[in-house]
Structure 1
């Protein structure tokens, strides 16, 4: 009987020892050094290297094309509002994004005579209020970010604050854990 008990306890002790040792290894801090940020000269060199690739050449050609210039001019028109996070009056022109877009939820809006894609990252409760928007609604938008991509014929404004008729209908919830 003692031999059976020893035979059952011995594997249990060995397995628990291995599990405990594995936990201690996982709790040790990573020995990989954190990547240091690139200096301005290194960033510039990397950008030049990328511009020489086929994708970089295509992108530069797009920026110089009439479509690219139109997008960049649209960005320039609202850049002051973006940097100051001030109100921009907009009119909803479409409740759907251009075909093939992968930006998530968004609408098309006209700000100062230029069409923009306004994309949102809503939480579930905010969706209902955003779905209440209609074409020709006048809204106030604030944003910290405007971007562009050759895939889209419009600048992309990240909607962070939207109000309609003086009522707040959307405010971006900051991500947890930093950025």
Structure 2
């Protein structure tokens, strides 16, 4: 009987040893550095290539159109706040994004008289607080990023910090993998 138990335990020990050894090998390979950043000349060359694509052409046409100029000018108005990660006072104007948007969860807000899309990447625990927002709520927003796309008539702010009535209702949680 003892021989049978030893015979069953031995393969279990060997297999578990192989599993842990393989895990260490996988962890070591993931520590390789990523690709090095492009130089200014390489970035410029890549940008020229992209502008020659149909998407790049559409973007260029949009950027010089009246609608594109308006979106870019509106985004430029808050660029300093974005760069310095300072508070921006906003008023929630809509609890849903424009029809057809694929930005996930977000709200429309007015900052200094201009409308913006504020998109969030909330954890499930943060959704309840964000769903408590109502139209005409005054909030404080901070972000490191404002973007724009021809599909949207408003600049897109990536919400990283939101405060209402002196209470933090949303704070972006960085991803564990660092991306």
TM interval, shorter chain, is: 0.7 to 0.9
Length, aligned pairs only: 164
Q: Which residue number corresponds to residue 176 of structure 1?
A: 176
Tell me, in whole angstroms, the C-alpha distance in 2 between the residues paired with 1:48 and 1:108. 33
Unaligned runs of 5+ in 2: 1-10
The Cα shift of 1:27 comes to 3.6
The Cα shift of 1:33 comes to 9.5
Correspondence 1:78 to 2:78 = yes
Spell out the pairing of 1:17-56 with structure 2 (5 A cutoff).
27=25, 35-56=35-56
Tell me, in whole angstroms, the C-alpha distance in 2 between the residues paired with 1:93 and 1:36. 42
Q: Which residue number corresponds to residue 137 of structure 2?
A: 137
The Cα shift of 1:34 comes to 5.7
Tell me, in whole angstroms, the C-alpha distance in 2 between the residues paired with 1:76 and 1:98. 21
Cα shift readout 1:73-115 (whole Å, capped 9, x = no counterpart): 1111100100111110000000000001111110000000100
Tell me, in whole angstroms, the C-alpha distance in 1 between the residues paired with 2:164 and 2:33. 49
**Tell me, what secondary structure is at the counterpart of 1:144?**
coil
Q: Which residue number corresponds to residue 156 of structure 1?
A: 156
Aligned Cα RMSD in Å? 2.6
Distance 1:94 1:33, change over 3 A: closer
The Cα shift of 1:38 comes to 2.3
**Tell me, what secondary structure is at the counterpart of 1:63?**
helix
Which segment drifts farther, 157-166 or 49-58? 49-58
**Tell me, what secondary structure is at the counterpart of 1:129?**
helix
The Cα shift of 1:48 comes to 0.8
Tell me, in whole angstroms, the C-alpha distance in 1 between the residues paired with 2:95 and 2:34. 44
Tell me, in whole angstroms, the C-alpha distance in 2 between the residues paired with 1:97 and 1:27. 45
Which segment drifts farther, 46-55 or 137-146? 46-55
**Tell me, what secondary structure is at the counterpart of 1:58?**
helix
Instruction: Return structure 1 stretches of 4+ with deviation > 2 angstroms.
Output: 26-30, 32-38
Cα shift readout 1:45-65 (whole Å, capped 9, x = no counterpart): 111111122221111000000
Tell me, in whole angstroms, the C-alpha distance in 2 between the residues paired with 1:84 and 1:35. 28
Q: Which has the larger radius of gyration?
A: 1
